[in-house]
């Protein structure tokens, strides 16, 4: 007969008494608590609970309390007028996929699908898996499988983006390729990354020119300016017009337009750096293909306890194009920041390039050093003031996780994934966890990808949340 395992708290107390040679107290405690005679002895196995001590738990609690001082939450008193809207997706509907494979990317895209007698231009659920397959599901017709394509890519697809009202699609894969597709046909493919092209983002400047940026695990971000339009007889991607070489692998990329000047800028975050980097897009008249870094914004301006992270995923607010949500690689739980983007100004760029100061002697040079220190402090204070929310989502993750954050389409909140099979909703106004979606994915499984937005379904507009994970499940979350 197997004996019941004693509570962990009792074992920790017994371990403390045994390690400090409180023999009489230990005997009395074991007798009164009904513990086995060997309670508190270390077994030497690899079980993590066997390594716990009271001192270690107290130290971890102190570190946690210290980190709480650096969290920032919004004003709950004003949350009623501008907080989390109650009609939020909460009911899961599992979609039957053609094959059983880990899902790497899920989204709802406008897709010009040529099926049957006529072409259809509608929204489809797009899912890619580790089996190199791309599947389309009809969003309005009982989630039927429209097509399941297995020969598009020679390696699993990691990212998808539709352009030109869904007439063309761009995809990146683990092999470092960028594919240009038209429905089930691959029109062009390039391999400018050495490995793992993890993300593709696009920006449609006009009816002809299209900005494309890809991030790869060869520590590069590539920028393309392609002429892809329905009028093109043979659309192609073309050679990269810009290259960004990083010290570490990129984590997230995003196109954003400066609200003051209207200039289109590329935002980049990279591993082992707490900065968001601003890059100017290459000029067509210039012969150089190097994208110029025009500024950066530190997410830990005063080097507080939050400094050990990378900005893993960035998402612009649908309400305010200068408000950015950033999912962080913090351990053991994901932390979230909402920051105001500090786009560099022309005078900032000119001052950073250096001038004629510091050439004097004696007091003049000391004054210059002081002014530089004061200027640096002013920048830090400005960056600190730009942080609107920084909070703990309590979504567990490891160094191998892929943090994801997406905004609700009305901008009232955000969704984040987790490695426990749970999706959490964060109120944008306060930074509080207000929704926990548990019944869609298997407990303890990794939710790899999430998407949120408006979807036209049965003649009405609905708010959807779509998720896919390593439990091989594709789930659509809808309002009740």
Instruction: Tell how far CA 372 is from the center of its chain.
Output: 35
Per-residue confidence (pLDDT) for residue 84, from 0 to 100: 94
Checking 422-425 for CB contacts under 8 A at 24+ apart, the result is 422/395, 422/447, 423/447, 423/450, 423/465, 423/467, 423/477, 424/393, 424/394, 424/395, 425/84, 425/88
End-to-end CA distance of the chain: 48
In total, how many domains does the chain have?
2
Report in angstroms the alpha-carbon separations of 58 from 22, 51, 77.
Answer: 20, 14, 34
* pLDDT tens digits, 52-100: 778 877 877 776 666 666 677 777 665 455 789 989 999 999 999 999 9
- Run of H or E including 201: strand 197-204
Helix (H) or strand (E) holding 466: strand 460-469
Regions of the chain with pLDDT less than 70: 1-7, 44-51, 63-70, 76-81, 115-121, 207, 231, 284-288, 304-307, 347-367
- Whether residue 367 is contained in a domain is answered as no
The answer to whether residue 357 sits within a structural domain is no
Residue 69 CB contacts under 8 Å (≥ 6 apart), including other chains = 305
Residues 1 and 138 in one domain: no
472 in a structural domain: yes
Instruction: For helices 54-68 and 8-19, give the axis angle rounded to 10 degrees.
Output: 120
Same structural domain for residues 124 and 272?
A: yes
Q: Cα–Cα distance between 427 and 365 in angstroms, integer?
A: 49
134 and 21 within one domain:
no
CA dist., res. 187 & res. 182, Å (int): 7
Q: Concatenated DSSP letters for 237-288?
A: --S-SEEEE-SS-EEEEEEEE-TTT--EEEEEEETT--EEEEEEPPPTT-S-
The CA distance from 477 to 457, in Å, is: 14
Q: How far apart (Å, rounded) are the C-alpha atoms in residues 406 and 465? A: 9
E strand map for 271-396: 275-280, 292-298, 311-316, 323-328, 333-340, 387-396
Whether residue 467 is found in the same domain as residue 403: yes
Give residue 96's domain range.
78-352+380-478
The pTM of the full predicted model, rounded to 2 decimals, is 0.83
| CATH value at residue 157 | 2.130.10.10
Same domain, 151 and 3: no
Which residue matches tokens 């895209």?
Answer: 109
Regarding whether 84 and 29 lie in a shared domain, the answer is no
User: Do both 191 and 274 map to the same domain?
Assistant: yes
The separation between CA 116 and the C-alpha centre of its own chain, rounded to angstroms, equals: 38
Question: Does residue 109 form part of some domain?
Answer: yes
Q: Which of 234, 232, 235, 193 is nearest to 215 (CA)?
A: 193
Give yes or no: residues 311 and 428 share one domain. Answer: yes
Q: Establish if 125 belongs to a structural domain.
A: yes
Distance CA 425, CA 410 (A): 13
Same domain for 128 and 27: no
DSSP 61: H
In a domain, 362, yes or no: no
Residues 27, 87: one domain?
no
Per-residue pLDDT, 286? 62
Rg (CA), the chain: 26
The pair of structure tokens assigned to 365 is 């040079």
Residue 287: inside a domain = yes
pLDDT at 230 (0 to 100)? 72
- For residues 189 and 300, membership in a common domain is answered with yes
CB atoms within 10 A of CB 244: 23
Tallying the residues shown for the chain, one arrives at 480
Q: Does residue 359 lie within any of the structural domains?
A: no
CA-wise closest residue to 323 among 264, 381, 388, 228: 388
Q: Residue 352's pLDDT is what?
A: 46
Q: Are residues 146 and 239 in the same domain?
A: yes
For position 49, what pLDDT does the model report? 56
Residue 250 structure tokens: 């990129």
Residue 106 and residue 467 in contact, taking contact as beta carbons nearer than 8 Å = yes
- Contact indicator for 468, 449 with CB cutoff of 8 Å: yes
């Amino acid at each position: 007969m197997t004996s019941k395992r004693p509570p962990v708290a009792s074992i920790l107390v017994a371990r403390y008494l045994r390690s400090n040679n409180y023999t009489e107290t230990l005997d009395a405690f074991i007798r009164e608590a009904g513990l086995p005679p060997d309670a508190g002895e270390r077994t030497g196995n690899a079980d993590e609970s066997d390594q716990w001590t009271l001192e270690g738990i107290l130290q971890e609690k102190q570190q946690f309390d210290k980190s709480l001082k650096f969290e920032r939450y919004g004003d709950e008193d004003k949350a009623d007028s501008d907080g989390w809207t109650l009609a939020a997706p909460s009911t899961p509907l599992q979609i039957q996929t053609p094959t059983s494979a880990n899902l790497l990317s899920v989204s709802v895209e406008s897709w010009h699908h040529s099926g049957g007698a006529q072409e259809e231009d509608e929204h489809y659920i797009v899912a890619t898996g580790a089996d190199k397959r791309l599947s389309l599901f009809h969003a309005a017709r009982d989630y039927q499988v429209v097509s399941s394509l297995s020969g598009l890519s020679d390696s699993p697809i990691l990212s998808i983006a539709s352009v030109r009202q869904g007439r063309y699609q761009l995809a990146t894969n683990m092999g470092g390729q960028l594919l240009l597709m038209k429905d089930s046909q691959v029109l062009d493919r390039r391999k400018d990354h050495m490995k793992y092209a993890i993300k593709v983002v696009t920006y449609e400047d006009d009816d002809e020119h299209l900005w494309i940026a890809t991030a790869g695990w060869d520590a590069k971000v590539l920028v393309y300016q392609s002429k892809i339009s329905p009028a093109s007889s043979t659309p192609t991607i073309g050679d990269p017009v810009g290259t960004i070489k990083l010290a570490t692998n990129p984590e997230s990329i995003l196109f954003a337009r400066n609200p003051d000047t209207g200039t289109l800028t590329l935002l980049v975050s990279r591993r082992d750096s707490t900065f968001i980097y601003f890059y100017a897009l290459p000029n067509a008249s210039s012969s150089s293909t190097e994208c110029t870094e025009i500024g950066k914004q530190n997410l830990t301006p005063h080097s507080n306890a939050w400094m050990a992270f990378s900005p893993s995923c960035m998402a612009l607010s649908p309400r305010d194009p200068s408000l950015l949500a950033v999912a962080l690689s913090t351990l053991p739980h994901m932390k979230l920041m909402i920051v105001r983007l500090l786009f560099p100004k022309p005078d900032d760029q000119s001052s950073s390039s250096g001038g004629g100061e510091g050439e004097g002697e004696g007091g003049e040079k000391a004054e210059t050093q002081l002014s530089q220190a004061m200027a640096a402090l002013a920048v830090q204070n400005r960056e600190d003031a730009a942080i609107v929310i920084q909070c703990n989502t309590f979504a567990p993750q490891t160094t191998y996780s892929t943090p994801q954050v997406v905004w609700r389409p009305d901008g009232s909140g955000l969704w984040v994934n987790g490695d426990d099979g749970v999706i959490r909703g964060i109120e944008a106004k306060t930074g509080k966890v207000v929704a926990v979606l548990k019944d869609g994915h298997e407990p303890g499984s990794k939710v790899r990808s999430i998407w949120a937005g408006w979807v036209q379904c049965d003649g009405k507009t609905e708010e959807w949340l779509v998720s896919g994970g390593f439990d091989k499940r594709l789930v659509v979350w809808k309002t009740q």
